[in-house]
Amino acid sequence: MFEHFSLKETLTTTMVLFAVIDIVGSLPIVVGLKQKFGRIDSEKSALVAGSIMLAFLFIGNKILKFIGVDVNSFAIAGAFVIFIIALEMILGIEIHKNTEPKAASIVPIAFPLVAGAGTLTTLLSLRANYHDINIIAAILLNTLFVYLVLKSANWLERKLGPTTLQVLQKVFGIVLLAISIKLFTANFAQLFTTYIKF
């Protein structure tokens, strides 16, 4: 496996995952969760998110095939989830009612904020074009970065005022909305083409 290691491929896959995970863009959500739950278990969040991504890299296709769901349908479902999250960010409303855990860790940070449908779908796409060792390295690097951002939530909260957070939330909500629409249209087009052939 290690003979296929490539710094170029690792950097490419790292940047792709970084853009999809967008933990920096999720800062308003992270700070909001910290204010709501009192603390963020950054170690557990990063560890679980990394584990989910690594597991899905190797068994994702098998899981989807086992339950009779294709990758495109999975991506479209993810697009709807991202769309709802984006609406919440832009309009300042709460559509999804969360349970009240003592700390935000596995849900909703590890899943679906970090290792969400978009991230997992991207991993399946990357595996078709890059060697596993490079994708694994990219997952580990992104997991480390997620941990550092979550660990710095207190500092970031102090540096960023409530007004800045609100503006960031609206801006990244619009970006997230655009990503959800792109994810939906691209995968819907592939599904449509597949069914037309039949």
| pLDDT digits 0-9 by tens, 147-187 | 999 999 778 777 877 788 778 778 877 877 887 788 788 87
| pLDDT digits 0-9 by tens, 79-131 | 787 788 778 878 877 775 555 455 567 877 888 789 987 788 788 878 878 89
CA distances from 112 to 12, 52, 133, 163, 193 (A): 23, 10, 24, 26, 29
CA distances from 128 to 76, 80, 122, 154 (A): 19, 24, 10, 39
Q: What three-state secondary structure class fits 171? A: helix
**Alpha carbon distance, N-terminus to C-terminus of the chain:** 38
Residue numbers of the domain that contains 123: 2-197
- Number of structural domains found in the chain: 1
